[in-house]
Structure 1
Amino acid sequence: MASSPLGRPTRGTTGTNRLRRSDRWIAVSSAFRSSPDPLIVDLGYGASGVTAFELAARLRQVRPDAEVIGLEIDPVRVATAREQLEEVRAGRTPFPPDIRVSFARGGFEVPLPDGRRAAVIRAMNVLRQYDEADVAAAWRAMAARLAPDGLLVEGTCDEIGRVSSWVDVTPDGQPARFTISLRLAELEQPSIVAERLPKALIHHNVPGERIHALLTDLDREWARAASLSTFSATQRFLATVAALRDLGWPVRGGRTRWRLGELTLPWDAVAPL
C-alpha cells in the first residue's frame, strides 16, 4: 500500500461493461500476450471494482495466468472493492471465484508488490479532471512502472462505453498511437468522439490542429458513404476508413479492427501543433 499516493481521487462512478472496448484492445496487445508476467493494472477504477473483474474475466480467456490489480487513491473505494471481491470468492457473483484480481491503494506511482512491473496499465477516465499541462508528467510516472515491453492505455469513454478513445504510451513515457473506438449501430457522426478525447487532445479540436482535421475528414467520408448503410453500419465505416487512408491518413491495422469501429493512427498524425 502506498503511504502517499500520487494524484487526486477519481470523481466519476463506475458503469458495468463501460470499458469493454479498452478490454478488447488490451486482450489483443502484444504487451499482454507476449508478457512473461501478464500483470495488468486497472488504475483509478472508480466507485466499484467491477471494471477490474470484467477485465480479468476477459483476459483469462486469452491467458489463464492473467492477473489484474485495481488501484484507487480513495481508501473507501479500496475497501468497497475488497468487499466485492469477497462476494466473488464466495461464488455469489457471475465472475469466477478463482479470478486473479486484487485491490490496493495507489495512484500514478503504481505501487506493485515484490518489485513487479505491469505488462499493461489502463488509466481510463482518470486524467479528465487534470489540466493538460499535467498529462506528460502523469504519463511518465505511470510508464515508469511498466515492464520493458509494456503498454500504458490512457483515455476516456462515455458513461455506457459506446464512445471511446485512448493513447498508447510506451515505457519511456512517450505517446505512440491514438485510437478511436465507436459503437457503429445508430452512430450519427464519428466526431461524437470529440467529447471523449483524451486530455492531451480534447482542447485541440479546433481549426488548424491535426485532430480537428482528422475528425473533419472522418465526418465527411462517413457522410459520403451513407448509401452503404443499406448493407450495414459496418460496411459504411469500412468505406470511411478506406477513404481516409486514400486521403493520406496513416491508418493502422486492417479490416478486422475497423469492423469493430476502431480507427488507429500514429500519435504524430494527431499530436497537438
Structure 2
Amino acid sequence: MTQFPGAVPSPAMAPVVQETYGPADLGATPLFGGGFINFGHWHGIDLDRLPTEDDRIRSQQALYRHVLAALAPTEGLRAVEVGCGLGTGCAVALGEYGFAQVTGMDIHPQQLDRARRAQAGLLAGPAERLRFVQGAAESMPFGDAEFDRLYSVEAAQHFRDLDAFARETARVLRPGGRAAVTSFFVPDADPARPAQLAALLDTFATGLDVAHSIPELTAGLERSGLTDIRVVSIGAAVWPGWDRWLSTMWQPGTWPRNFLRAYREGLLDYFTITAARPAACAGP
C-alpha cells in the first residue's frame, strides 16, 4: 500500500508574495473584480468587443466552475481550497456545488482577514460550514485524510515546492478523494524556459510567479502515490480573453501583454490537472 508522509515544516512566505497580497492588495486592483483573483475562463464571452467589468467577473466565476465541476460528485463532501484568497471561490463551492464543508486555506494573514470580512455572512451560518485557516501549500495544517476534495485556482504559480505540495495533497485527501488544480505552467521541461519567461514578464522576473512545468507537477503527483492524473490545456479559453481585458488598461508592447505572446510561442500555457488518491486496500 502506498504510504503518505506527514507534513513538513511550513516555508517562509516569499517577500514579493507578502507585498503583493498584503500592502499592495492585488485583489483590489481594476485587473480583478467581484472578489476573485484569476485570469478568467472566457469561453462564451464576446471578445469582438471590449469586455465589461461584468464580463470580467463572469470569466473569473467560470474558471471556478470549470474546476469545481471536475471534482464531481461534490454533494455533501468536505473540501479544501489551497490559496483561497478572498474566499469568493469558497462561496461558489458552497452555494453551487453542495459541499457540506469548505475550508479556505491561504498563506497570507492579510488575505485571510479580508476573506473573513468578505464572507462574514457565510461564516455566520451553520457552524464550520465555512472556515478559513492560515497555512502553506507545502505544509498544510490539517490531519491525514481530512478532506474528500482538494482544489486550487491560480495559486500554484506561487508555490515554492511542487513536490511538497503534491505530498501534502495526497496526505490530506481521504482514500478515494480527488484533487483539481488550475494555473499557468510551462508545458515542457526545457531548462531555458524560466529565463525566457523572466525576460518577457515582470512577475517571473521578480519571483512572484515561478516557472513550474507540467512534467515537474505530474512527476510529483505520481511520486506522492496519486493516480488517474490528467492534464488538459485550457489556454484557448484563457489567454485571448485575458489579453483582451488587459488591452483596456495596458498598451501593446507593455509587459502584461506578453502573456499572450508567451502562450503563442509555447513558453507558457494554462492547464487543469486532476488526480485521485487510490481507494483504501480491501481487507483479506
**TM-score (norm: length of structure 1):** 0.49
Bigger RCO (CA 8 Å, 6+ sep): 2
**TM-score (norm: length of structure 2):** 0.47
